[in-house]
Amino acid sequence: MQKELAIRYQDNNQIKEAIVLLEHVIAVQAKSLAEDSYEQLQSRRLLAGAYQENGQIQKAVAILEHVVAIHTQTLAEQDDERLHSQYELAKAYLANRQAKKSIALLEPVVAIRKPILAEDDPALLGSQHSLAEAYQLDGRVQEAIALLEHVVAIEAQTLSEDHPERLKTMHMLALAYQSNDQIEEALILLEHVVAIRTQILVEEHPSQLASQHELAGIYETNGQPKKAIALLEHVVAIDARTLAEDDHSRLASQYELAKAYRANGQLKKAVALFEHVVAIQRRILDEDHPDRVATEKYLAVLTDALDKGLGGV
C-alpha cells in the first residue's frame, strides 16, 4: 500500500513525498526480506528513480549499482529484469556525466536485446537512444550519429510525427550533427522539431524551450545572430515568468542571449546581461565553478572592449 502511494506521489510530481515514503518502505523491508528479494530490489529501483528526478544523482547511482550487482549474481545475462536495471544504472551514469561507465553497460544491453527484440521494440530503441547519447558525451560523435539516424528512421515508420519520443530523438540527432559541423542538417532537423512542438505544446513547456534554446545556438554558429537573438529573447522572457532567478536553465538562456548580442555587435546589451548572470552565479556557485569562471572571463573581455570604445548599441 505504501509503495503504491509512493508511486502515485511520483506520478503527481510530489518527488520529496515519494522519497520519504520509499525510504521508510525499504527500511521496513530490510528487516524482513532477503537482500535479493524481488520486492526489495523493486523498491530500491523506485527510490533510485525518485532520487534522480530530485537531482540526487549520486544516491541514485549508489542504489542502482547495488541492484545491478545482485542481479549479476542471481539472474541470467539475458534476463529482462537484469537488463532493465543495467539500463537504469547507465542512464544514471549519463545524468552524472560518466559516459564511459554508461557505455560499458549499454553496449552489452543493446547487443543482447538486438537479436531477440523487434527493431521497433521500445526497449531496444530506448537502449540505442541512450547509447547514442553516451557516445556523444564521450566525443564519439560519428557513432552517435549512425545510431541516432537508425533510431530516427525506425521511429519515422512507427510513431506519429508529433510523438514525444520521435521528437526527442530528432532533437538529439540535430545536436550530434551540430557537434560534427553538419550545420545545415542540424538546422533543418531542429527547425522541424520546433515547428511541431509549437503546434502541440504550451510555450513554456521545457521541451519546447530546450529546442528553441538549441536552435538559437545553431543560428549563432551559422552566422545568423539576429535569428538567434529573436528566439533567445522569447525564451528568456518565458523563463522570467516561469523559473526562479537562479534556475540553471534560465541562467543558461541569458548567457546564450548575451553571447548573441555580442555576435551582433550589441556590446552594451551583452555586458549588462553578463553582469546580471555573474551577480547571480556569485551567490550560488563556488568561485572555481566552470560556469562561473567562463562567464566572468567573457564579461572581462567584453568590458575591456567596451572601455576601449569598441562597443555597439
CA distance 20 to 6: 9
Buried b (16+ CB within 10 A) or exposed e, 236-265: bebbeeebeeeeebbbbbbbbbbbbbbbbe
CA distance 212 to 228: 9
Query: DSSP for 259-288?
Result: HHHHHTT-HHHHHHHHHHHHHHHHHHS-TT
Predicted model pTM: 0.83
pLDDT tens per residue across span 257-310:
999 999 999 999 999 999 999 999 999 989 999 889 999 999 999 998 888 876
CA distance 172 to 147: 11
Q: Look at residue 54 in the predicted model and tell me its pLDDT.
A: 84
Is pLDDT at 169 greater than 80 in this prediction?
Answer: yes
pLDDT tens per residue across span 190-199:
999 999 999 9
CATH architecture of the domain covering 203-313 = Alpha Horseshoe (1.25)
pLDDT tens per residue across span 1-31:
777 887 887 778 788 888 998 999 899 998 9
pLDDT tens per residue across span 226-255:
999 999 999 999 999 999 999 989 999 999
Q: Look at residue 312 in the predicted model and tell me its pLDDT.
A: 53
Closest CA to 11 of 58, 52, 59, 50: 50
Closest CA to 42 of 67, 18, 61, 65: 67
CA distance 41 to 188: 44
CA distance 67 to 83: 11
Q: Look at residue 313 in the predicted model and tell me its pLDDT.
A: 47
With cell 511541431, the residue in question is: 196
Largest CA distance in the chain: 74
Q: Look at residue 310 in the predicted model and tell me its pLDDT.
A: 65
pLDDT tens per residue across span 104-162:
999 999 999 999 999 999 999 999 999 999 999 999 999 999 999 999 999 999 999 99
CA distance 301 to 313: 17
Residue 92 to residues 49, 85, 96, Cα–Cα distance (Å)? 9, 11, 6
Q: Look at residue 245 in the predicted model and tell me its pLDDT.
A: 95
User: Contact at 8 Å (CB) between 79 and 71?
Assistant: yes
The domains of the chain are located at 203-313
Kindly compute the dihedral angle of the four CA atoms of residues 232, 57, 91, 211, in this order, to the nearest 10 degrees. -10
